[in-house]
């Protein structure tokens, strides 16, 4: 007579993780939901196979272990237990589980897919012994799965009949899985311990260096930023950029604006990275900013994405008061923008200086491009011309005007004598220029302005215009 066995889940997990973590895997593997699923994850011993041959019990036991549910194989006579699959059952005492009325039952024998495959929990009497097995062959257990006979190597992905050593790479698959589960468990415990330290430090009202919160000021990439601080940081980068441009114009050095752009670019990546940390994501995703359009969409999405309410792997929750900081930065943005706009509109001659500063002095390349142009281009044609020394040239300039410096350099390079009138130091020159351009003394003009052989060329004329009004030898 063939001895029968039953399979009992102990109510624990193999790796020690919470049962709730296995809910989705159990539901997909055994096609159960609702009350049956809740009983399997209740934490109590549960009979999932009442009686079956050893081979069927071992397959079911292996499947449960693979999913992460701790299970045992118990002989039908309740005198032996098997803790891991092997060719023959190993009989040892069963002090932990008493398969009696206290063990609920979820599955019983029946044809796969039949109504008898899933039954309500039954209570077995504790005193009468189990009835001897019937001589006829028992049907296959309802929980038999199509893939229970195969196993996939976790290293090389080879699908093969169930065995310990992979037939392709020779990996000891049970030990490899056990090592992976141990590593995951250690990482989980380390994370929980770190979060517990964060929470304890916050409860004590103080934080060490590792718990120090990030702020909108700084260049460090550690910590988290909330949505309002992220908004404040974005506006602050614009404020800093305008200040760098204004300082570059005042100093007459467009390179200062380039330095400012570099610093605010680093600062912008920092704000993106810290905001990603607040949502539980890696700060390396900030590199998406380098992708056209996609980077802009990500930056905008971070304005509305909710962060983690509690501490996470990237630090403690952001500090309160983000609304006040955002308000201060918004006011600063409007003040600096007004100063920038007023400086341009009050003195239109400086508009070219601002444009040059915001392009990091690219306007200075005009002379170099003129010198390097080919013979067939207009600039190349100017290179082949010799201008007469008798040309009468007056140029009106002001200090700090990059375009004025460029025009004077070009005239000197061509050997053309000219008279310079500094309108910021010579009031009479400024009056003459206003009279020539507007007639009523109220006109404004962009510098430099040139008067060539009696013809006025206002508003920073280009070299083609100057060339057309000069006499040649």
Band of the pLDDT at 106, cuts 50, 70, 90?
A: low
Please give, one letter per residue, the 3-state secondary structure of 132-188.
Answer: CCCCCCCCCECCCCCCCCEEECCCCCCEEECCCECCCCCCEHHHHHHHHHHHHHHHH
Residue pair 168/158 in contact by the 8 Å Cβ criterion = yes
Cα separation, 153 vs 59, in Å, equals: 17
Q: How far is CA 204 from CA 28, 315, 317, 384, in A?
A: 44, 17, 15, 81
- Rounded average pLDDT over 226-234: 90
- The dihedral through the CA atoms of 287, 305, 18, 45 has a sign that is negative
Which pLDDT score is estimated for 301? 92
Which pLDDT score is estimated for 331? 93
Cα separation, 206 vs 203, in Å, equals: 8
Q: Please list, in sequence order, all residues whose beta carbon lies within 8 angstroms of the beta carbon of residue 449, skipping any fewer than 6 positions away.
A: 395, 396, 433, 437, 456, 457, 458, 459, 460
Cα separation, 35 vs 19, in Å, equals: 15
Provide the residue ranges of all domains of the chain, joining segments of one domain with +. 5-148, 150-209, 227-346, 372-469
Provide the 10 A C-beta neighbour count for residue 431.
12
Residue pair 429/422 in contact by the 8 Å Cβ criterion = yes
Task: Give tens-digit pLDDT for 402-426.
Answer: 788 888 888 888 888 999 999 888 8
- Rounded average pLDDT over 359-381: 51
Band of the pLDDT at 121, cuts 50, 70, 90?
A: very low
Residue pair 61/82 in contact by the 8 Å Cβ criterion = yes
Residue 414, CB half-sphere, CA atoms under 13 Å: how many? 29
Which range of 190-199, 249-258, 365-374 scores highest in mean pLDDT? It is 249-258
CATH 1.10.1750.10 corresponds to the domain 372-469: no
Is the pTM higher than 0.85?
A: no
Cα separation, 169 vs 160, in Å, equals: 12
Band of the pLDDT at 452, cuts 50, 70, 90?
A: very high
Whether residue 380 is predicted with pLDDT greater than 70 in this model: the reply is no
Which pLDDT score is estimated for 395? 93
Q: What is the DSSP string of 334-395?
A: HHHHHHHHHHHHH-GGGHHHHHHHHTTTGGGHHHHHHHH--TTSHHHHHHT--B-TT--EEE
Cα separation, 69 vs 211, in Å, equals: 37
Helix or strand holding residue 462 (H, E)? none
Task: Give tens-digit pLDDT for 59-93.
Answer: 888 888 888 888 888 886 654 444 444 444 444 34
Task: Give tens-digit pLDDT for 31-69.
Answer: 888 888 888 888 888 888 888 888 888 888 888 888 888
Cα separation, 198 vs 346, in Å, equals: 55
Q: Please list, in sequence order, all residues whose beta carbon lies within 8 angstroms of the beta carbon of residue 212, skipping any fewer than 6 positions away.
A: 223
Which pLDDT score is estimated for 351? 65
Cα separation, 197 vs 203, in Å, equals: 10
Helices (H), 2-151: 23-30, 35-40, 54-67
């Amino acid at each position: 007579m063939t001895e029968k066995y039953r399979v009992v889940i102990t109510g624990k997990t193999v790796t020690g993780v919470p049962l709730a973590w296995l809910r989705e895997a159990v539901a997909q593997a055994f096609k159960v939901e609702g009350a049956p699923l809740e009983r399997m994850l209740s934490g109590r011993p549960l009979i999932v196979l009442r009686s079956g041959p050893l081979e069927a019990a071992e397959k079911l036991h292996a499947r449960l272990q693979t999913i992460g549910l701790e299970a045992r194989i118990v002989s039908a006579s309740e005198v032996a237990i098997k803790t891991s699959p092997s060719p023959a059952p190993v009989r040892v005492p069963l002090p932990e589980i008493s398969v009696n009325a206290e063990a609920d039952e979820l599955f019983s024998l029946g044809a796969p897919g039949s109504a008898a495959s899933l039954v309500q929990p039954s209570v077995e009497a504790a005193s009468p012994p189990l009835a001897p097995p019937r001589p006829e062959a028992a049907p296959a257990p309802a929980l038999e799965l199509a893939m229970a006979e195969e196993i996939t190597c976790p290293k090389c992905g080879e699908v093969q009949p169930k065995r310990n050593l992979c037939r392709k790479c020779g990996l000891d698959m049970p030990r490899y899985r056990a090592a992976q589960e141990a590593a995951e468990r250690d990482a989980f415990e380390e994370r929980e311990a770190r979060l517990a330290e964060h929470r304890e430090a916050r409860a004590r009202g103080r934080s060490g260096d590792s718990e120090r919160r990030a702020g909108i000021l700084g260049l460090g990439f550690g910590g988290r930023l909330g949505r309002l601080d992220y908004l404040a940081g974005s506006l602050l980068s614009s404020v800093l950029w305008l200040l760098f441009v204004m300082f570059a114009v005042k100093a007459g050095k467009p390179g200062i604006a380039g330095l400012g752009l570099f610093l605010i670019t680093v600062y912008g990546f920092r704000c993106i990275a810290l905001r990603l940390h607040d949502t539980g994501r890696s700060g390396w995703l900030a590199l998406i900013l380098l992708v056209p359009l996609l980077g802009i969409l990500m930056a905008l999405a971070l304005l509305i994405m909710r962060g983690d309410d509690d501490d996470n792997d990237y630090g403690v929750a952001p500090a309160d008061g983000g609304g006040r900081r955002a308000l201060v930065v918004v006011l600063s943005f409007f003040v600096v923008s007004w100063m920038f706009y007023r400086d341009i509109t009050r003195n239109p001659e400086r508009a070219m200086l601002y444009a040059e500063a915001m392009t990091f002095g690219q306007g200075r390349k005009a002379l170099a491009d003129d010198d390097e142009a080919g013979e067939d281009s207009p600039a190349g044609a100017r290179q082949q011309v010799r201008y007469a020394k008798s040309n009468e040239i007056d140029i009106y300039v002001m200090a700090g005007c990059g375009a004025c410096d460029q025009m004077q350099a070009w005239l000197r390079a061509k050997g053309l004598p000219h008279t310079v009138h500094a309108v910021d130091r010579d009031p009479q020159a400024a009056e003459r220029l206003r009279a020539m351009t507007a007639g009523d003394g109220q006109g404004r003009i962009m510098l430099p302005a040139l008067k060539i052989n009696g013809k006025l060329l206002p508003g920073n004329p280009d070299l083609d215009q100057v060339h057309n009004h000069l006499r040649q030898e």
